[in-house]
Amino acid sequence: MKAKLFLVLAGALLVCALVCGCTDSQETTGGSMPAAPATTVTPPPSGSAFQTSTSYTPMFTPQGTCYWKVQVDVVNVGTAAATNVRVSVFLVETATGTAGQPKSELFSRFNAGERKIFFKEFPVECSRDYRIEVAIDSD
């Protein structure tokens, strides 16, 4: 009896998760999410320049809330290394244009041609649309 009740509750939870869309894996080019195109930041005098791309996976917590696991891929497409590179990731609510607090990754040295991939997690409202923006600063 307890096993049947557990299966019914687990099935109901799975249906709820699928309905809210928090278990689907998507990239920023899919669904109603606007594409987060690769962008090139204006090169600083050192000769470094960065190209970024992002993707996200909506996740569902056991407590019933949603969050996005964001993957950021950054490449130094310039001709020189950069130092003290700060990559800031923003989650912007599409309807209002409101950006939340950025989450940053700091790299002390980023060589020409080098690629860095990292992940950040952002709490979200399951029913709202967001876009990912990336800003890069360096010495």
**Dist CA 93 CA 97 (whole Å):** 5
CATH of the domain at 58: 2.60.40.1620
Q: Is residue 5 part of a domain?
A: no
Q: Is residue 127 part of a domain?
A: yes
For the chain, how many structural domains are there in total? 1
Please check the confidence at residue 8 and state whether its pLDDT lies above 70. no
Query: Edge-to-edge strand order for the sheet containing 82-93?
Result: 103-110, 82-93, 130-137
Q: 126: burial class by Cβ within 10 Å (0-12, 13-18, 19+)?
A: middle
Per-residue pLDDT tens digits for 21-47: 444 333 333 333 434 444 444 445 457
Q: Is residue 28 part of a domain?
A: yes
pLDDT of residue 119: 98
Q: Is residue 13 part of a domain?
A: no
Q: Is residue 86 part of a domain?
A: yes
Bridge partners, 117 (sequence order): 73
Please check the confidence at residue 1 and state whether its pLDDT lies above 60. no
Q: Is residue 4 part of a domain?
A: no
Q: Is residue 45 part of a domain?
A: yes
Q: Is residue 53 part of a domain?
A: yes
Q: Which domain holds residue 43?
A: 22-137
- Check: pTM over 0.95? Answer yes or no: no
CA 88 to chain centre: 11
The mean pLDDT value of the chain amounts to: 77
Per-residue pLDDT tens digits for 51-110: 999 999 999 999 999 999 999 999 999 999 999 999 999 999 999 999 999 999 999 999
